[in-house]
Structure 1
Amino acid sequence: MSRRSHPSSPDSSPREAKRQKLEYAPLTADDYKNGLMLAPMVRSGALPTRLYALKHGAKLVWGPETVDKAILHTTRVVDPVTGVVAYHGKSKPIFTCHPVERPFLIYQLGSADPALAVQAAKMVQQDVAGFDLNCGCPKPFSTHAGMGAALLSNPDLLCSILTALREAMPPEITVSAKIRLLPSQEETLKLVERIVDTGISCLTVHCRTRNMRMREKATIGRLREIVEFVERMGKGVAVIENGDCLGYEDSKRVRQVTGAHSVMIATAAEANPTCFSPTPLKDLEMTFVPGYIRLGKYLNNHWTSTKFCATQFQGAHDKARRSDLKTLREAIVHAKSYEDIEAHVAPWTGEQEFAEIVEAIEKRGGQRAPPIPLEDVVVAPLDAIQDNGELKDVTTTELMVPSLELANKEATSPPSLLGLEIPPISNSGEAIAVQ
């Protein structure tokens, strides 16, 4: 851990450095519409990844799920040099964020208790724009205590948590939920109706059931009826699609099929956080990874968190040869600290990377929509959609062909990059799988 692992508290610091200059209106349901969103991802949703996603066109970013009890036992500290806000547990930061992302940051909460959920939300509400209840994660660390996807079978508890959050939070803080599909459409619509009636601003639907895994294709065709159902309720709630979107261009297909107000990207963003742009970066080992590592060090992001994220990055290769990139990959895999990778990513400040991110965010001019907005699409008629939920128009679906392998890979399997087996990394740094 570097010398800035436990910086001064905001009360004792002369200033909180690098506060954003622009003022943003409170988040509303409309802000959840017409955008591409970074999904909540444990470990992969680290602060540097969220900042780069915003730089390259994400409208809003979700932080990784943080369990209510975990955040309640933390101390909030502010780094006087970088402005990073860290909620420190006994041995590591449980959650980190930065003021520049606050207008766009949705804090995802893991909870199975309305009172604890409210306490946890009050702990961090000064640093986020909204709260999202995790009702869809099927992993044991989330479901073992009745959280995550376990809430889908306990709608009374699910809705009581959302109601408690909405009543406790000030109106400028939004409340949303992220669910999975239930086995039947009838069951799903009944649950959706109850959730919308709690007063949420947004509902994200991961178009897989609890028992489906990432290697199984998302059933996005089921979402159209859900979107129309929510719109008929007349409460202005945004519906976001999650599942198998590969980036900016592919989001057109997803919106045409589903009619969703926005699209959330997970796996593709884990591999390339610039996928929110119409022109995502290629040759990431040269154009992205070194800067990501420099930014991680500048923001004092724990090395194991930065290392984990860096080993996930992969994308199209244009000018670089695979043999030219192997050296950096090997260095990252074997590095045990930032110092071990220094020769491959110098100069070592990271300030330039951060300044470019701030500049890109400021270009939004106080608006949450990125400078390059989503193109308008026309929702496809039902007879233009195949039974598997894909469009019959080949010219539209061909956008997804190059990356099908990425979309269908099992998220929990260790990646193999350039023939390198990446060893497991312990949950350190900003790994939020706290039980």
Structure 2
Amino acid sequence: MGSRRSRSGSPPPAKRFRLEQEVSEASDTPSKRVSYRNGAFLAPMVRSGTLPSRLLALKYGADLVWGPEVVDRAIIGCERVIDGDWVISYEKNGRLIWSTHPIEKPYLVYQIGSANPQFAVQAALTVIHDVSAVDLNCGCPKPFSTHAGMGANLLYTPDLLCEILSSLRSAIPSYIPVTAKIRLLPDANDTLKLVERIVKTGISALTVHCRTKDMRKTEEAHVHRLGAIVDFVNQLGEGIPVIENGDCTSREDGSRIKERTGRVEWAVVFIWSHISLGVDSVMIATAAERNLSCFANGPLLDAETVLSPTYLSLARYLKNPWGNSKHCVSQFTSPSPVNGRAGLKAFKDKLGKAKGYLDFDEEIGGTPDGKVIMDEIKDILRRRTATALEALEPCEPAFTEASARIASVFVTPPQSPVTAAVQSTA
């Protein structure tokens, strides 16, 4: 992803110790119970799922956010760097591999790309203090993943796939959910057989991208096949939520998909009924890439005058690499109701010419204050976390204590960067 930020000198030992201790205490215990039911989630996207995108998705209403797939060997051996704005970066050889912020932890799922149980475990343990769940990518069809046996190729090596999931479940704390994201196999029965094996590894949720490995995203997702999978998983009796991925465009559209994947069967003679309520949640990818406000209840924000300036201001504040921010904003498609498509095109022409944040600011005459946007996101997520606390049972003091800490500790940012080496073996 490229180098992320310059560093200033380390703070005095006492101040550094306090910062490290606060972040450690807020990260070492579960922040809240992760819920995979009745939600709309941001899908893992390699270039478009970086920190600014995840934070804005949460601001606009996403219930959980998946980070982009990170290959196991890439994260193993990284240095964990905490900067003055609380951004936590995992870096290797001066290159940013992955970044996060403690405020998103209660909603953050870290996705691993792996074809090796031992490496998968090492990768998970490297970031375990900064995430609330770990997901194994078993569905990416792109060559960078499949060439090493990862991603969608795991669908055809079920023994290895299940060994990785079982190893993750055994190695990481029980309060950290382990999940899997798969694609459909061409044969429906083969898909059900694979699903049964995956469920028996102890996963906490299953995401099904309703396309096969060879299907392109321009082809319509086979959502009609998902109802049978949901019904089958329910009959296994493990209480595993099923998440739909593929062609969902908004939270409202998620309700349509839920209805489409559920069914009611009646046998009046025996006074018997079978009710399947459909998928538990939906995961949004392409529509979120085009407009992150798709998670909100209401019309999409226009990309030219609202969404793009907001994104770039937040990304600049977080010191997200310009190239990545430029790519993400270039994907936005909703024109301004005043300026129309011509206005959006002119905006993107200026974006294309800009070589950095300052350059772009000069082109458009300034952008909003990124700190103000970040403070607004913090306030939204603190209130959401506090609401989640009220729903926890009294017998869950560990969750309550940790969530309260997450919600309150990140108020005043530290003054200087802090570097902490991650104890892991490459």
Normalised by the length of structure 1, the TM-score is 0.79
Match of 1:183 in 2: 186
Match for residue 274 of structure 1 among 293, 301, 304 = 293
Alpha-carbon distance in structure 1 between the residues aligned to 2:56 and 2:37:
20
User: What is the correspondence of 1:54-133 to structure 2 with a 5 Å cutoff?
Assistant: 54-80=58-84, 82-133=85-136
Q: Is the 8 A contact 1:178 1:205 kept in 2?
A: yes
Match of 2:144 in 1: 141
Q: Secondary structure at the match of 1:229?
A: helix
Q: Is the 8 A contact 2:30 2:175 kept in 1?
A: no
Q: Is the 8 A contact 1:181 1:206 kept in 2?
A: yes
Alpha-carbon distance in structure 2 between the residues aligned to 1:35 and 1:305:
27
Q: Does 1:321 align with 2:340?
A: yes
Q: Secondary structure at the match of 1:32?
A: coil
Deviations 1:24-68 (A, max 9, x none): 75434xx01100000000010010000010011110000000000
Match of 2:6 in 1: 5
Deviations 1:66-102 (A, max 9, x none): 000000131110012x100000122321000000000
Q: What letter corresponds to residue 55 of structure 2 in structure 1?
A: L
Deviations 1:104-139 (A, max 9, x none): 000000000000100111100000001000000000
Q: Does 1:158 align with 2:177?
A: no
Larger-Rg structure: 2
Q: What letter corresponds to residue 322 of structure 2 in structure 1?
A: W
Q: Taking structure 1 as reference, are residues 137 and 226 closer, same or farther at Cα in structure 2, changes over 3 Å only?
A: same
Match of 2:357 in 1: 338
Deviations 1:326-350 (A, max 9, x none): 4321121111111111122625641
Alpha-carbon distance in structure 1 between the residues aligned to 2:10 and 2:88:
9
Give the Å deviation of 1:283.
Answer: 1.9
Alpha-carbon distance in structure 2 between the residues aligned to 1:27 and 1:220:
29
Match of 1:306 in 2: 325
Deviations 1:271-318 (A, max 9, x none): 001101111433211011011101101001011010110100112542
Match of 2:47 in 1: 43
Q: Taking structure 1 as reference, are residues 196 and 351 closer, same or farther at Cα in structure 2, changes over 3 Å only?
A: same
Alpha-carbon distance in structure 1 between the residues aligned to 2:103 and 2:80:
17
Q: What letter corresponds to residue 237 of structure 2 in structure 1?
A: G
User: What is the correspondence of 1:237-316 to structure 2 with a 5 Å cutoff?
Assistant: 237-258=240-261, 259-315=278-334
Alpha-carbon distance in structure 2 between the residues aligned to 1:196 and 1:245:
24
Match of 1:360 in 2: 380
Match of 1:204 in 2: 207
Q: Is the 8 A contact 2:183 2:209 kept in 1?
A: yes
Q: What letter corresponds to residue 370 of structure 2 in structure 1?
A: G
Give the Å deviation of 1:367.
Answer: 4.5
Match for residue 38 of structure 2 among 25, 30, 34 = 34
Alpha-carbon distance in structure 2 between the residues aligned to 1:142 and 1:106:
19
Q: Taking structure 1 as reference, are residues 243 and 115 closer, same or farther at Cα in structure 2, changes over 3 Å only?
A: same
Alpha-carbon distance in structure 2 between the residues aligned to 1:113 and 1:60:
27
Q: Is the 8 A contact 1:242 1:265 kept in 2?
A: yes
User: What is the correspondence of 1:372-387 to structure 2 with a 5 Å cutoff?
Assistant: none
Bigger relative CO (Cα 8 Å, ≥ 6 apart) = 2
Normalised by the length of structure 2, the TM-score is 0.81
Q: Could you tell me which runs of 5 or more consecutive residues in structure 1 were left unpaired when the two chains were aligned.
A: 370-435
Match of 1:192 in 2: 195
Give the Å deviation of 1:199.
Answer: 0.3
Q: Is the 8 A contact 1:118 1:164 kept in 2?
A: yes
Aligned length: 366
Q: What letter corresponds to residue 5 of structure 1 in structure 2?
A: S
Q: Is the 8 A contact 2:293 2:301 kept in 1?
A: no
Alpha-carbon distance in structure 2 between the residues aligned to 1:260 and 1:249:
14
Alpha-carbon distance in structure 1 between the residues aligned to 2:93 and 2:319:
17
Q: Taking structure 1 as reference, are residues 305 and 18 closer, same or farther at Cα in structure 2, changes over 3 Å only?
A: farther
Alpha-carbon distance in structure 2 between the residues aligned to 1:209 and 1:345:
46
Alpha-carbon distance in structure 2 between the residues aligned to 1:204 and 1:70:
24
Q: What letter corresponds to residue 358 of structure 1 in structure 2?
A: K
Q: Is the 8 A contact 1:16 1:83 kept in 2?
A: no
Higher helix share: 2
Larger mean CA deviation between 236-245 and 346-355 belongs to: 346-355
Match of 2:403 in 1: none
Q: Secondary structure at the match of 1:118?
A: helix
Q: Could you tell me which runs of 5 or more consecutive residues in structure 2 were left unpaired when the two chains were aligned.
A: 262-277, 390-426
Q: Secondary structure at the match of 2:41?
A: strand
Give the Å deviation of 1:323.
Answer: 3.4
Match of 2:221 in 1: 218
Give the Å deviation of 1:7.
Answer: 6.2
Q: Taking structure 1 as reference, are residues 242 and 24 closer, same or farther at Cα in structure 2, changes over 3 Å only?
A: same
